């Protein structure tokens, strides 16, 4: 992939290109003015020569073409030299306007330059022409042309170099504060955000730095409040959840001690409370783990992944009560070194989600090495109380965030009638 140019380099190249275009344009204009000046001098010389010619040559002698002071003067175009007639296909019709024809190859010095002009003298028109070749040209013209060329090249190079130096100094003066702003943004931490932004020499950069600091401070404060809320809420929920679950167990023991079985309606209510408390427990544990700031403090140990899956499946089977659902398991022995608590939370959420939202059909759980795949039919059930349990969508979302935080690979594919989940638990070295 082609690397794009930086803004600084693009701006410098654009300004330098503009300067070069201006220098080249003025150089071409200077060369054009130089040759125009030469043409004007030759035209003036032709006019002076014609005046002298009229004053010194008798009228009857002017009927023929005359060579006078290096110029060919005639009243008839056909009397001009063949080289002039060949160079100019038609005779000049506009008085006082010099015409020029250069005979030369590309990028070579001219072999000959033909000049012709139509002038009026004594009430009569005259054609004045001259051909300048390398042999008869004045050394003064060549020397002036070379000096003019060297002057134009020197001035052009000096202007281009000066312009490049000015651009470099300007870019350096501007780029240093921009570079300091970039370094400052890369080093932003909560402690740096609490301090005032440094001075970056230009009001625009200072305003940008203040905007960045205020925006990141606002985002950091919001995230900090959310994390604090998650930590406090999750900790506060653990107590009522424990009370609910302990009282459910106590109620069951009291019923067993009294020797009476609960009625069907009472048993259904107790099961609903039990399922809701388990849902709240899993959710609060996930939230607590997400609010941890340092994953390196997690307690790691070697455990059997296949045994953990079997244990979680048995713990979650209550979600399949009164459902025509078949569970198919394919596990293989695998010892994994990782945080067992984190693995229990993530795998438990995935199995719970599959059991909770499968109303009929099959749930397939496959484990190969440290990779777990769960497929389940996701036909919605309309008459199940579990369909409105809190935490399904949130549970999957939190599971994805927890896997991302732990560096585990997690894929969740939802099809119209099937739900496929793949989890790869990255072992510790």
* Higher-scoring residue by pLDDT: 172, 98: 98
Residue 424 main-chain phi, psi, to 5 deg = -120, 115
Topology of domain 292-424, per CATH?
Heat Shock Protein 90 (3.30.565)
pTM for this structure?
Answer: 0.45
- Domain map of the chain by residue range? 7-159, 292-424
Reference 163, options 25, 19, 23; nearest CA is 19
Q: DSSP letters along 97-145, please?
A: --EEEEE--TTS--SEEEEEEEEEETTEEEEEEEEEETTTS-HHHHHHH
What tokens appear for 131 in the block?
A: 């051909």
pLDDT confidence bin for 229, thresholds 50/70/90: confident
Helix (H) or strand (E) holding 302: strand 301-304
Sheet holding 371-377, edge to edge: 325-330, 361-368, 371-377, 418-424, 409-414
Residue of 319 and 5 predicted with greater confidence = 319
96's torsion region: left (phi>0), alpha (psi -120 to 50) or beta?
left
Within 258-324, residue ranges assigned H as helices are 264-290, 305-316
Mean pLDDT score across all residues of the chain: 80
- Give pLDDT tens digits for 256-285: 777 666 666 777 777 777 767 766 776 676
Reply yes or no on whether the pLDDT at 310 is more than 90. Answer: yes
pLDDT in tens, 139-173: 666 676 678 778 878 888 888 888 888 888 877 77
* Residues 296-323, mean pLDDT to the nearest whole number: 84
């Amino acid at each position: 992939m082609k690397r794009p140019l930086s803004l600084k380099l693009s701006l410098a190249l654009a300004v330098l290109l503009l300067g070069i275009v201006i220098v080249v344009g003025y150089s071409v204009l200077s060369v054009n003015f130089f040759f125009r000046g030469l043409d004007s001098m030759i035209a003036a010389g032709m006019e002076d020569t014609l005046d002298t010619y009229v004053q010194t040559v008798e009228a009857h002698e002017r009927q023929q073409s005359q060579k006078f002071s290096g110029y060919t003067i005639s009243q008839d175009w056909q009397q001009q030299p063949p080289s002039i007639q060949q160079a100019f296909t038609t005779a000049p019709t506009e008085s006082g306007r010099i015409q020029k024809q250069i005979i030369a190859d590309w990028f070579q010095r001219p072999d000959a330059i033909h000049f012709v002009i139509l002038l009026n003298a004594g009430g009569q028109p005259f054609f004045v022409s001259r051909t300048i070749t390398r042999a008869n040209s004045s050394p003064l013209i060549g020397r002036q042309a070379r000096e003019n060329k060297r002057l134009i090249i020197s001035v052009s190079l000096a202007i281009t170099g000066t312009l490049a130096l000015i651009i470099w100094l300007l870019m350096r003066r501007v780029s240093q504060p921009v570079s300091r702003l970039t370094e400052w943004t890369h080093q932003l931490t909560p402690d740096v955000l609490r301090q005032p932004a440094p001075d970056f020499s230009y009001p625009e950069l200072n305003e940008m730095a203040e905007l960045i600091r205020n925006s990141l401070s606002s985002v950091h404060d919001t995230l900090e409040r959310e994390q604090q809320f998650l930590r406090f809420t999750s900790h506060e929920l653990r107590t009522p959840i424990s009370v609910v679950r302990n009282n459910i167990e106590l109620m069951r023991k009291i019923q067993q001690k009294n020797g009476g079985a609960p009625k069907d309606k009472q048993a259904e209510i107790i099961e609903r409370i039990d399922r809701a408390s388990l849902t709240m427990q899993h959710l609060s544990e996930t939230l607590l783990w997400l609010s941890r700031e340092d994953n390196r403090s997690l307690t790691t140990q070697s455990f059997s992944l296949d045994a953990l899956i079997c244990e979680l499946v048995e713990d979650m089977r209550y979600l399949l009560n009164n459902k025509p659902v078949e569970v198919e398991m394919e596990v293989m022995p695998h010892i994994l070194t990782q945080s067992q608590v984190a693995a229990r939370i993530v795998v438990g959420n995935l199995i719970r989600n599959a059991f909770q939202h499968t109303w009929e059909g099959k749930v397939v759980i496959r484990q190969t090495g440290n990779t777990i795949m769960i497929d389940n039919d996701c036909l919605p059930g309309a008459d199940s109380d579990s369909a409105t349990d809190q935490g399904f969508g949130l549970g999957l979302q939190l599971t994805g965030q927890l896997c991302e935080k732990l560096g585990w690979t997690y894929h969740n594919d939802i099809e119209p009638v099937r739900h496929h989940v793949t989890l790869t638990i990255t072992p510790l070295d």
